[in-house]
Amino acid sequence: MKVIVIAAGSGRRISEETKHLPKYLIKVNDKTIMERQSAVYKKYNVDQIIIITGPNKEKFTVDGFTYVEDVNYQRHDILGSLMEARKHITGDVMIVYSDIVFDDAVLSKIIESKDDIGIAIDLEWKKSYIGRTDHPLSEAENVVLDTNQNVIEIKKNISTEPENTVGEFLGIMKMSPRGSEIFVKKFEELEKSHTGMFHNAPSLEKAYLTDMIQELIDSKIIISPIIVSGKWCEIDTLQDLQRAHKLFP
């Protein structure tokens, strides 16, 4: 199992002190997000961690990781940065955002998934938005499940039928060898032919991972929900960081 962490962003929304620091190196109490994620990975069968870097790449000084630089980070959003490491999207692989902290209970559920492409979803997501005035509900990357628990939509500002279930995408996707092949093949097809807006993004280069997941859904490729329980949080603002300090002492 490989893990690819998309760490080409900075902590500019959090504070002046972190705006020139990769989010992955922001400390939650005495440990960086990188250290906290790595500690969880070590408990499972993860044999390689690939970190995609952007600005301030020189701040990554820890050995034992594979670093891939996104030299075009200013032109890219999450998807573009991820595909700088496309040669590593093979076999069993997890794609993970660099601004999330999670416990064993979350990762164990994801590791157990045997589906070709699965995405981690929290159905109790609204609880974590209480008091988050700097990061409101409208910024959540929501996932819609139909009555058969099929993933049918993923984006921000979801409105859906009342019988459907809405959760939040954690920022973790797991793929089997076949799933990895499907993902890369679809992206490379788009790279050759797509122009203009791409789902909710102005272009393919500026797309989020969620835009690519929606493209797979629209192409009738099954995206399996991995419903997680356990402790996790996203760190995008100072409020988020303060909450993380309480959740992960």
| pLDDT, tens only, 37-70 | 999 999 998 999 999 999 999 999 999 999 999 9
For the ranges 6-10, 78-82, 167-171, 233-237, the lowest mean pLDDT is seen at 6-10
* Helices and strands (H and E) in the chain: how many: 6, 13
Q: What is the identity of the amino acid at 45?
A: N
| Percent of the chain's residues with pLDDT above 90 | 88
CA distance 41 to 148: 31
The CATH number of whichever domain residue 83 belongs to comes to 3.90.550.10
237 falls in which pLDDT band (50, 70, 90)?
very high
Gyration radius (Cα) of the chain, Å: 17
Mean pLDDT of 99-104: 98
- What is the average pLDDT value for the chain, to the nearest integer? 95
What's the pLDDT tens digit per position in 175-210? Answer: 999 999 999 999 999 999 999 999 999 999 999 999
pLDDT at position 12 over 80: no
- Give 139-158 pLDDT, tens digit per residue: 999 999 999 999 999 999 88
pLDDT at 185: 99
Place of tokens 């209970």: 105
pLDDT recorded at residue 184: 99
Q: Which range of residues forms the domain containing residue 225?
A: 2-247
Task: Output phi, psi for 73, to 5 deg.
Answer: -55, -30
Q: How does residue 168 score in pLDDT terms, banded at 50, 70 and 90? A: very high
d(CA 156, CA 139): 6
Of the two residues 175 and 14, the one the predictor is more confident about is 175
Specify the pLDDT at position 221. 98
Q: Please say if the pLDDT value at position 15 is more than 80.
A: no
- pTM of structure: 0.96
Q: What angle do CA 160, 163, 165 make, to 5 degrees?
A: 70
pLDDT at 11: 67
Domains in the chain, number: 1
